[in-house]
């Protein structure tokens, strides 16, 4: 296969979230004479994780310097910003404060600062309590890491624009076509769908919340398995819309697998609080109880989940309090912005995270990709997956091209 685009081979991409759309677009750009088809079981793009997130464009503060996540995040920010500029999509560099409330958190903040500098995050610096007030007059803390280039965007709009680029380049996009599995041969693959099979020289599976199921039906291992965790956001009443200029985050606590409540400005100017992280009763139920007996049974019969639960009981108690009590949820945010006392908030449609676990119950914090000559199955593309999506797509297609 030639990087010059002379190949007439065929590609199928499964999943029209931001990663699948980005892979499809990258294929049309790298191999313009090839056939590219994007399949999506829903009637629209960005129907699941991509369309139910905070919209934060992460700058690359936390990741191991030199590692793939750090490199793809920094590259992804650049590609995403350029794409949003090209398509006139929202991209607001509102900035972010990671706030330490005590000495222990400040010590961890120093380590994050060192990583951020090593990763080349522009303008990152530490500040004290007075510096916090200068940047965000309503925020409090002992110290903070300042990331002025952390941004917000509309990932669903980005995804739709990527899909438009695919069709404009001659690719096909088929909504309402569910993929049940991929039969991986030595030279070609057969994609089994609810509307019949189709073949391709190479298939990319970017199935998100369903990635483990599609992988197992394609001959992959049981693990990593997907355990869904929902994240609840609240929209602050309009009087608090401008209480912050940007984002205020806590310092990650190594005792807990999830970050905790933070404050996030949206691209439309509204202010949100959240998310928490608690076991979801379904993979795709965003309202009400959201119970799927099939999804819940898959979680409860997965030994990895019980091993994870046994090791994270304290985290479950912390997160359960935010699930059961809106008052406690907002009180967590008030630790960083005391002026939120008495604020009212409206519950938003929740998001559901595809949390990948290995057989021991350990959360996967890195990419998990199954590759053969005819298929690439993305089994875990962790945060900052949306931020890095264009760079991940570039990496996956470059990897395929180098093998051929």
- pLDDT by residue for the chain (404 residues), tens only, comes to 444 444 579 999 999 999 999 999 999 999 999 999 999 999 999 999 999 999 999 999 999 999 999 999 999 999 999 999 999 999 999 999 999 999 999 999 999 999 999 999 999 999 999 999 999 999 999 999 999 999 999 999 999 999 999 999 999 999 999 999 999 988 899 999 999 999 999 999 999 999 999 999 999 999 999 999 999 999 999 999 999 999 999 999 887 778 888 999 999 999 999 888 899 999 999 988 889 999 999 999 999 999 999 998 888 877 777 777 788 889 989 999 999 999 999 999 899 999 999 999 999 988 999 999 999 999 999 889 999 999 999 999 999 998 87
**Preceding amide of 275 cis, omega within 30:** yes
User: Helices (DSSP H) in 178-255: which residue ranges?
Assistant: 211-217
Q: How far apart are CA 385 and CA 27, in angstroms?
A: 19
Task: Give which of 277, 316, 282, 275 is closest to 300, Cα–Cα.
Answer: 282
Residue 264 neighbours by CB distance under 10 Å = 23
Q: How far apart are CA 178 and CA 184, in angstroms?
A: 18
Would you say 224 and 364 are in contact if contact means Cβ atoms under 8 Å apart?
yes
pTM tops 0.85, yes or no: yes
Q: How far apart are CA 93 and CA 335, in angstroms?
A: 24
Classify each residue of 105-117 as buried b or exposed e, where b means 16 or more C-beta atoms within 10 Å of its C-beta.
bbeebeebbebbe
Per-residue CA distances from 348 to 52, 53, 65, 167, 233 (Å): 10, 11, 35, 32, 6
Please report the pLDDT score of residue 259 as a whole number: 84
Please report the pLDDT score of residue 6 as a whole number: 44
Residues 6+ away with beta carbon under 8 Å from 384: 58, 60, 69, 73, 76
Please report the pLDDT score of residue 74 as a whole number: 97
User: Helices (DSSP H) in 5-62: which residue ranges?
Assistant: 18-30
Would you say 191 and 39 are in contact if contact means Cβ atoms under 8 Å apart?
yes
Residue 213 has phi, psi (to 5 degrees) of -65, -45
Classify the C-alpha dihedral 390-393-397-400 as positive or negative. positive
**120 token code pair:** 């080349």
Which domains are delineated in the chain? 10-50+156-224+365-403 (3.50.50.60), 93-150+226-357 (3.30.9.10)
**205 token code pair:** 């599976």
């Amino acid at each position: 296969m030639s990087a010059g685009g002379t190949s007439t081979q065929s590609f199928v991409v499964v999943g029209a979230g931001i990663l699948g759309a980005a892979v499809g677009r990258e294929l049309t750009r790298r191999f313009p004479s090839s056939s590219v088809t994007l399949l999506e079981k829903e009637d629209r793009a960005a129907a699941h994780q991509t369309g139910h997130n905070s919209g934060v464009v992460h700058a690359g503060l936390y990741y191991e310097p030199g590692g793939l996540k750090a490199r793809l995040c920094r590259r992804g920010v650049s590609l995403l910003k350029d794409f949003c500029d090209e398509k006139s999509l929202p991209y607001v560099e509102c900035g972010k404060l990671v706030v330490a409330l005590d000495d222990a958190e400040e010590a961890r903040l120093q380590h994050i600062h060192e990583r951020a500098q090593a990763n080349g995050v522009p303008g990152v610096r530490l500040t004290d309590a007075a510096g916090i007030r200068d940047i965000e007059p309503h925020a409090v803390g002992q110290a903070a890491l300042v990331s002025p280039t952390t941004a917000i965007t509309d990932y669903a709009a980005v995804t739709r624009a990527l899909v438009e680029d695919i069709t404009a380049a001659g690719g096909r996009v088929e909504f309402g076509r569910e993929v049940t599995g991929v039969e991986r041969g030595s030279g070609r693959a057969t994609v089994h769908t609810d509307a019949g099979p189709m073949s391709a020289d190479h298939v990319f599976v970017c199935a998100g919340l369903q990635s483990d199921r599609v992988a197992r039906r394609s001959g992959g291992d049981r693990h990593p398995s997907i355990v869904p965790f929902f994240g609840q956001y609240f929209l602050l009443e309009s009087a608090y819309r401008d209480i912050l200029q940007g984002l205020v985050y806590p310092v990650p606590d190594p005792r807990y697998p999830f970050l905790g409540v933070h404050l996030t400005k949206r691209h439309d100017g509204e202010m949100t609080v959240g998310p928490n992280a608690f076991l979801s009763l379904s993979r795709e139920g965003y309202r009400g109880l959201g119970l799927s007996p099939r999804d819940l049974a898959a979680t409860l019969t997965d030994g990895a989940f019980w091993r994870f639960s046994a090791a994270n009981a304290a985290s479950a108690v912390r997160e359960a309090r935010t699930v059961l009590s809106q008052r406690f949820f907002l009180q967590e945010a008030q630790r960083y912005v005391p002026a939120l006392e008495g604020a009212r908030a409206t519950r938003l449609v929740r998001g559901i995270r595809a949390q990948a676990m290995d057989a021991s119950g350990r959360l996967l914090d890195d990419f998990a990709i199954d590759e053969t000559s005819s298929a690439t199955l993305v089994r875990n593309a962790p945060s900052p997956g949306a931020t890095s999506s264009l760079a991940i797509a570039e990496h996956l297609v470059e990897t395929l091209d180098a093998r051929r």
